A and B are shown apart, each in its own frame.
Chain A
Amino acid sequence: MIWETEGHHETAASQTLAEDLVAHVTGLRRYALLLVGNANDADDAVQETLTRVLARNRDWLPIDDLRAYLFSTLHNVFIDATRREKRMPSDFLSEELLATMISPANQQKRLELRDTVLALAKLPIEQREVVLLVGLEGLSYLEAAKALDIPIGTVMSRLSRGREALRAMTNRDSSRKLRVVK
């Protein structure tokens, strides 16, 4: 039984792991929300992610590269959900998400925010994942590669394509808006 053998160091390690997990919860929720566009589904996925992580680490030992491990588990949860429910996370409910977002006071910021969310929604899921992991969550390329279980070269390639696609979409939207103003 775990409680018979644990010592002070073990307790400290448990506390560290739990604190580290808590520190990553918001990032996981943020990423999940922008990936699936629906707060309920996103939180369910994060909940299942934490459950899986704890189920596999019942001794509460420190996990190397915890952030990549958590995002990797979340990625697997999405894949499993996709297989189970026969739908892609790309059923991105951008309008629903926009309606629930905290709107900036500044009009230009509001438009930028809207453009960004709508452009993200149009990205293929594999590009959106990489763009969000690196651009939103600040994962290194190596961490992103681990999280998505793909080679680092694929991360770079998807990132390049995703960024270029976003750039094209936001440029197009900007020029359209300019024409309207004129």
Chain B
Amino acid sequence: MTDDRFDHTDPPRPDPGRPDPGRPAREPASTAAQLPFVSNDELLRFVDGALDDDGRVRVLTHLATRPAAVERVEAYLHQNARLRSLRDHLPLADSAGFAAPLQAAIAARLGRQRARRRWQRWGTAAAVALLVTGGALGLALDLWHEPERQASNAPSLAVVPQAYFLFDKPELAAFYPEATATSASVDAAAEAAAEPAPRQSVDGAAFDWLAGQVSEFSISAPDFDRIGLTLAGGETLERQGSPAIRLIYRDQAENPVLLHIGVGKPDVDHAFWLVREGYVSLQWRRGPMVFAIVAPTDSPQLSQVVDIVGAAIARLPAPERSETGETTSRESAARAIESGPLQAIAVPPPPAPAAADPSEPTDRAAAEALPEAKDENEPEPL
């Protein structure tokens, strides 16, 4: 900021050699010399109510002899009033949809003691149920996980967090039931995993399959290797036209981190935070997709997973149409795979823009890429 003398009689961007007909005559030198010192910044602060009493008096004294400055300040005050009046006219009626999950999270947290007592009471029964369910899931996942990991890392009850089975959110639960894992998708994934080299990674195939189900977005397999997560297994799910993938990774401490991406319905509630027994679940939406991550509460990778998944998903440009009205090959491909996940895995990767590297410092680099006003730090007289 520069506290340069504010002289409202000069236009903001004078055009040399071209007189401004609306420009008021300059004040007599004797009057100007008596004016209080008022900077451009001070006038802005006056408009935004950020001056103390002395500052306000100084600006008001200045304005008393400067009709052009008064006009400008009034215009800015009027702008602020207009902007604030916009608040009443924006289509934001359903903000409650955002607040509800937060409030639900509070309720979940406050009800922790009750839940824990219930767990102690039902502990034995739950352990048995989880053993059965976890065993069934482990068997299903065993068909699909990477062959080299089969012997040592087959998902089992020990690596499937209890939280995974305990969600009470119906939109997420819809992605879970064992019955929803179609045998075709598991077979297809197993087939893809068994292809000779160079073959696509298992999670890559799953993401390609999902990409085929969503025409608005491109999806590439997130690179979790660099944050120390390795794939343990996964599957594709489809139920009532809502495709999803479920992948299980292990962190360096061998704890499981589960990632779900599904195509939700428009009326799915914006739930994104649930906590159960040492695990956190983050859920969020983007366009038609619902994401969920389940990880240990102390997992350092949680926020990184959010960033990496976000970077792997990009909105596609609107479909191009040829002169004859034919859609592009991308759209045709998306339509062709509607009949099932088997074909979806065969869809070539979309011509998506390269995913941004979230490890790079995003703010400043991107801000620098934005068009900047020239001489931005140099205050300009109003």
B114 CB-CB contact with A under 8 Å: no
Per-residue 0/1 for A146-161: is the Cβ within 8 Å of any B Cβ (1 yes, 0 no)? 0011111110111111
Chain B residues near A171 (CB-CB < 8 A): 75
Q: How far is the CA of A103 from the CA of B86 in the complex (A)?
A: 10
Contact A157–B363 (Cβ < 8 Å): no
Minimum CB–CB distance for B311 against chain A, Å: 6
B15 CB-CB contact with A under 8 Å: no
Per-residue 0/1 for B270-285: is the Cβ within 8 Å of any A Cβ (1 yes, 0 no)? 1011010110101011
Which of A76, A100, A104 is within 8 Å of B91, CB to CB? A100
Contact A50–B353 (Cβ < 8 Å): no
Contact B285–A44 (Cβ < 8 Å): yes
- The stretch of B96-104, B143-151, B164-172 in contact with A is B96-104
Chain B residues near A3 (CB-CB < 8 A): 112, 116, 275, 277-278
Known: A25-B98, A51-B272. A44 touches B287 (CB 8 A): yes
| Tally of A interface residues using CB under 8 Å | 84
Q: How far is the CA of A159 from the CA of B287 in the complex (A)?
A: 32
Known: A26-B95, A80-B356. A157 touches B112 (CB 8 A): no
Contact A157–B98 (Cβ < 8 Å): no
Known: A47-B286, A160-B379. A85 touches B353 (CB 8 A): yes
A63 CB-CB contact with B under 8 Å: no
A84 CB-CB contact with B under 8 Å: yes
Known: A44-B285, A135-B80, A136-B83. A55 touches B379 (CB 8 A): no
Known: A18-B106, A117-B86, A131-B83. A48 touches B75 (CB 8 A): no
Q: How far is the CA of A140 from the CA of B310 in the complex (A)?
A: 30
Known: A135-B83, A157-B376. A18 touches B105 (CB 8 A): yes
Contact A116–B86 (Cβ < 8 Å): yes
Contact A160–B44 (Cβ < 8 Å): yes
Contact B297–A58 (Cβ < 8 Å): yes
A1 CB-CB contact with B under 8 Å: yes
Chain B residues near A148 (CB-CB < 8 A): 367
281-298 of chain B: CB within 8 A of chain A: 282, 284-287, 297-298
Where the two chains meet, the residues of A that have a C-beta atom closer than 8 Å to any C-beta of B are 1-3, 6, 11, 14-15, 18-19, 21-22, 25-26, 29-30, 33-34, 39-40, 43-44, 46-48, 50-52, 54-56, 58, 60, 72, 75-76, 79-80, 82-86, 88, 100-104, 109, 112-113, 116-117, 124-127, 131-132, 134-136, 138, 140-141, 148-154, 156-161, 163-164, 166-167, 170-171
Can you list the 7 inter-chain pairs with the closest CB atoms, starting with the nearest?
A79-B366, A1-B278, A55-B303, A51-B284, A135-B83, A84-B314, A136-B83
Where the two chains meet, the residues of B that have a C-beta atom closer than 8 Å to any C-beta of A are 1-2, 12, 40-41, 44-45, 47-48, 50, 72, 75-76, 79-80, 82-92, 95, 98-99, 102-103, 105-106, 109-110, 112, 116, 270, 272-273, 275, 277-278, 280, 282, 284-287, 297-298, 302-303, 306-307, 310-311, 313-315, 353, 355-356, 358, 362-364, 366-367, 369-373, 376-380, 382
Identify 16 residue pairs between A and B in the complex whose beta-carbon atoms are under 8 Å apart, listed by A's number. Answer: A3-B278, A30-B86, A34-B86, A44-B286, A46-B98, A47-B98, A47-B270, A56-B303, A80-B356, A84-B314, A101-B91, A127-B373, A135-B80, A148-B367, A153-B1, A157-B378
